[in-house]
Structure 1
Amino acid sequence: MNNFVTIATSVIPNPTPVVPPEARGLLTVLNWASGIGLVLGVLGIIIVGIGMVIQLQRGEGAQAIGKLGWVLLGCIIITGAAGIVRAFV
């Protein structure tokens, strides 16, 4: 059984991805888009926080928690985009 495991694991290829030189511009655009998305996510959290303070003074503070959840979900998707794509490819 041990010989079978060593043979089976030695046959499985482990490719290392290489970025072609022509794709460097695309990677720059993707890095910029990711950075801009994260900055907008932080701005969204700040805006939701301001809205929570205003709604709390009116007695409606619990409604903004749903908005905060959506903003945080968007930030998680932006930061994990590479991992999500890698899982499906």
Structure 2
Amino acid sequence: MENETDFAFEGLMPLVWNRSYYSDQDGTGWLGEGWSVPGSQRIIRDAAGLAYIDDQGRLFPLPEPEEDDEEPVLFESEQIWFGKNSDGHYVIA
């Protein structure tokens, strides 16, 4: 794994922009094959169902939330909460 800091701004709300390279990462990130950047996390739907792609480019499957279930589910291995809000949008926290 290789990490690079492209820029950093100090202040009340500091901002650090890092990019990381993972040679075993599947797919192409915003900066090309193997690279991940902040904000590239996303939820996708494919033939297998829902999946979450984290900030390291790792993909893991998510269950489809029930229509009336607004309570998020904790994935302890990844330390994230996943659910669907009252507007029908998926939420990762």
**TM-score relative to the length of structure 2:** 0.19
Between Structure 1 and Structure 2, whose CA radius of gyration is higher? 1
Of Structure 1 and Structure 2, the greater strand share is in 2
